[in-house]
């Protein structure tokens, strides 16, 4: 078995304004608009005046602007109707404080945490694509590249997507998908027929290669050109960007939720740094607003697939600022499917992926053949790569598998799997491929679609009732 050292991480450069997320207590009444600053002053909260004196130039704004306030209320009501044990926070008490470039955001957080009206506050760091190497795109010819897509093959090598395609719904037909990251070349020759639209946010050119590869792995069309996506017949595949100065990851998740119904699949291609843990890159749900948005998505019935991040870190050891373990089930669980990355060769072994008891399943984290594009200059629309990697490629493969399983569930049983039912199916050792050393790798199993479809895994999962367990706050 082999383990590769972490490769050079590719940083995406974009304008980032230092800001801090502040969540006031649920019972705090503030207008959810640009009048929050004046309301804090008018109600005699001396803390805000002192804060402005200590940090000249700060301003406060609502965190969520991707949908209207009334739409937030509608989504919360939808989640509560579907899951009667779901206990939503008051999302209308989430705000963002913007700082001048030289201000000390950490000192601002410390000051906010002393306020009695504040539930939590934290630095909102910039997010990054969870991939670990640069690539030089190569122009493609017109020969199909499926022969190189080893992750489509039968287990133990791959997930056996090719077997699934021979069954009703096994190509993802009728299913709906959103990819959340930063940039794409949506008119790539292998994607243009998909008709993906940007539902929210600003596309970042530096991330075009990454997003193009993700979409290709999940749903590149069957057009006799280039690659074939795992779920190449989805009913819709759109994108949401978390980039831009007025945006953030939780805001983008909210936009995606507003555009998906129960049964849809949302892929979070994001990793974020936690400055207090040696710049470790963590799943985005470490941050409370992100966690609570994911929690609402899963309560609505949307399956969320989330990259575990590429730091080789044991997530079981990560605690939030309250001392609570952030990635231990029974303590804190968004019900997302957390995905690790492993080697392409058999036996599969963990590479530089994060790991731990919260990681549900894994897929190839190297050598993934996929469409790609350029991050500057002329936009390449016929480019491919054979080294897409990290938890980026792994999470894309698992999102494709989820769309396939959802398609089969609807074709056979007339209904979708819930997020918890889907997680149970995709992470079941009885229908998955163990990594080379499970006790050391600790990244779950890679789903075997042949075993899932041939057995009764989907039917058994649909009989299970898995109620929502209320979770405490995050960092």
Each residue's pLDDT tens digit, 446-472: 999 999 999 999 999 998 755 444 444
Question: 164 Cβ partners below 8 Å, 6+ apart?
Answer: 170, 171, 404, 408, 449, 450, 453
Q: Measured between alpha carbons, how far is 433 from 429 in angstroms, rounded to an integer? A: 7
Q: Give me the pLDDT at residue 79, please.
A: 97
Is the CB of residue 206 less than 8 Å from the CB of residue 375? yes
Q: Measured between alpha carbons, how far is 419 from 266 in angstroms, rounded to an integer? A: 11
Q: Give all domains of the chain, ordered by start, each with its CATH number.
A: 19-123 (3.30.70), 138-462 (3.40.50.200)
The answer to whether residue 3 scores a pLDDT higher than 90 is no
Question: 92-142, pLDDT tens digit by residue?
Answer: 999 999 988 888 889 999 999 999 999 999 999 888 899 765 444 443 333
User: For helices 46-54 and 105-112, what crossing angle results, to 10°?
Assistant: 160
What average pLDDT is seen over the chain? Answer: 90
| Mean pLDDT in residue range 392-404 | 98
User: What is the DSSP-derived secondary structure letter of residue 223?
Assistant: S
Q: Measured between alpha carbons, how far is 52 from 60 in angstroms, rounded to an integer? A: 10
The sheet carrying 383-388 orders its strands as 138-139, 383-388, 368-372
Q: Measured between alpha carbons, how far is 22 from 129 in angstroms, rounded to an integer? A: 25
| Phi/psi-derived region of residue 135, left when phi > 0, alpha when psi is between -120 and 50, beta in every other case | beta
Q: Binning pLDDT at 50, 70 and 90, where does residue 186 land?
A: very high
Task: Give 248 or 244, the one with higher predicted confidence.
Answer: 248
Q: Binning pLDDT at 50, 70 and 90, where does residue 17 land?
A: low
| Mean pLDDT in residue range 314-325 | 90
Question: 403-414, pLDDT tens digit by residue?
Answer: 999 999 999 999
What are residue 370's DSSP bridge partners?
A: 385
Radius of gyration for the alpha carbons in the chain, expressed in angstroms and rounded = 22
Owner of token pair 């831009």 = 244
Picking from 29-33, 282-286, 294-298, which range would have the lowest pLDDT averaged per residue?
Answer: 29-33
Q: Give me the pLDDT at residue 220, please.
A: 97
Q: Measured between alpha carbons, how far is 225 from 202 in angstroms, rounded to an integer? A: 29
Q: Binning pLDDT at 50, 70 and 90, where does residue 272 land?
A: very high
Q: Give me the pLDDT at residue 14, please.
A: 41
Picking from 117-121, 143-147, 149-153, which range would have the lowest pLDDT averaged per residue?
Answer: 143-147
The sheet carrying 361-364 orders its strands as 198-200, 236-241, 176-181, 265-268, 303-307, 337-342, 361-364, 445-447, 432-434
Q: Give me the pLDDT at residue 103, please.
A: 85
CA distances from 5 to 2, 108, 118, 316, 351 (A): 10, 37, 42, 21, 7
Q: Is 410 helix (H, G, I), strand (E, B) or coil?
A: helix
Q: Measured between alpha carbons, how far is 310 from 392 in angstroms, rounded to an integer? A: 9
Picking from 10-24, 298-312, 367-381, 412-426, which range would have the lowest pLDDT averaged per residue?
Answer: 10-24
Is the CB of residue 255 less than 8 Å from the CB of residue 244? no
The answer to whether residue 348 scores a pLDDT higher than 70 is yes
Q: Give me the pLDDT at residue 475, please.
A: 57
Picking from 133-137, 150-154, 178-182, 342-346, which range would have the lowest pLDDT averaged per residue?
Answer: 133-137
Q: Binning pLDDT at 50, 70 and 90, where does residue 278 land?
A: low
- Considering the entire predicted model, what is its pTM? 0.93
Is the CB of residue 323 less than 8 Å from the CB of residue 292? no
Task: Give 131 or 166, the one with higher predicted confidence.
Answer: 166
Owner of token pair 């231990």 = 328
What DSSP line would sit under 412-447, residue for residue? HHSSPPPHHHHHHHHT-GGGEEEPSSHHHH---EEE
| Mean pLDDT in residue range 424-439 | 97
Q: Measured between alpha carbons, how far is 319 from 301 in angstroms, rounded to an integer? A: 28
Q: Strands 383-388, 138-139: parallel, antiparallel or unpaired by DSSP?
A: antiparallel
Phi, psi values for residue 301, rounded to 5° = 115, 10
Q: Give me the pLDDT at residue 341, please.
A: 98
Query: Between the CA atoms of 4, 425, 83 and 287, what dihedral angle is there, to the nearest 10 degrees?
Result: 0
Q: Binning pLDDT at 50, 70 and 90, where does residue 277 land?
A: low
The answer to whether residue 313 scores a pLDDT higher than 50 is yes
Q: Give me the pLDDT at residue 338, please.
A: 98
């Amino acid at each position: 078995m082999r383990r590769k050292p972490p490769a050079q991480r590719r940083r995406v450069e974009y304008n980032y304004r230092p800001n801090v997320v502040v969540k006031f207590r649920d019972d705090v009444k503030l207008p959810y608009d640009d009048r929050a600053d004046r309301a804090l002053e008018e109600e005699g909260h001396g803390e805000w005046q002192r804060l402005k004196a200590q940090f000249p130039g700060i301003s406060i704004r609502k965190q969520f602007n991707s949908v209207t306030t009334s739409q937030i209320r509608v989504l919360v009501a939808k989640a509560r109707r579907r899951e009667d044990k779901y206990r939503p926070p008051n999302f209308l008490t989430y705000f963002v404080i913007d700082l001048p470039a030289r201000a000390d955001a950490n000192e601002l957080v410390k000051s906010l945490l002393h306020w009695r009206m504040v539930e939590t506050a934290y630095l909102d760091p910039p997010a990054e694509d969870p991939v670990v190497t640069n690539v030089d795109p190569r122009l493609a010819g017109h020969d199909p590249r499926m022969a190189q897509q080893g992750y489509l093959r039968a287990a133990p090598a791959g997930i056996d997507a090719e077997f699934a395609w021979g069954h009703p719904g096994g190509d993802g037909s009728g299913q709906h998908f959103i990819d959340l990251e930063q940039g794409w070349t949506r008119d790539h020759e292998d994607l243009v027929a998909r008709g993906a639209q940007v539902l929210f946010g600003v596309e970042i050119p530096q991330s075009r290669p990454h997003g193009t590869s993700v979409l290709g792995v999940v749903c590149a069309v069957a057009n006799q050109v280039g690659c074939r996506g795992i779920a190449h017949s989805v009913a819709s595949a759109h994108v949401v960007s978390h980039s831009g100065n007025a945006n953030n990851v939780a805001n983008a998740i909210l936009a995606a939720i507003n555009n998906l119904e129960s049964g849809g699949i949302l892929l979070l291609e994001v990793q974020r740094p936690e400055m207090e843990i040696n710049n470790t890159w963590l799943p985005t749900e470490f941050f409370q607003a992100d966690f609570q948005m994911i929690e609402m998505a899963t309560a609505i019935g949307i399956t969320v697939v989330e990259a575990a991040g590429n730091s080789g870190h044991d997530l079981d050891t990560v605690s939030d600022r309250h001392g609570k373990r952030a990635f231990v089930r029974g303590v804190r669980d968004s019900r997302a499917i957390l995905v690790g990355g492993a080697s392409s060769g058999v036996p599969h072994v963990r590479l530089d992926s994060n790991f731990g008891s919260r990681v549900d399943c894994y897929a190839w984290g190297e050598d993934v053949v996929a469409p790609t594009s350029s991050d500057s200059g002329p936009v390449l629309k016929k480019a491919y790569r054979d080294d897409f990697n990290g938890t980026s490629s792994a999470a894309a493969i698992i999102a494709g598998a989820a769309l396939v399983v959802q398609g089969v569930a609807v074709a056979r049983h007339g209904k979708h799997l819930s997020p918890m039912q889907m997680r149970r199916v995709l992470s079941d050792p009885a229908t998955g491929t163990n990594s080379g050393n499970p006790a050391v790798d600790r990244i779950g199993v890679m789903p075997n679609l042949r075993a899932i479809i041939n057995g009764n895994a989907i039917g058994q999962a649909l009989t299970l009732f898995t109620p929502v367990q209320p979770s405490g706050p995050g960092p």
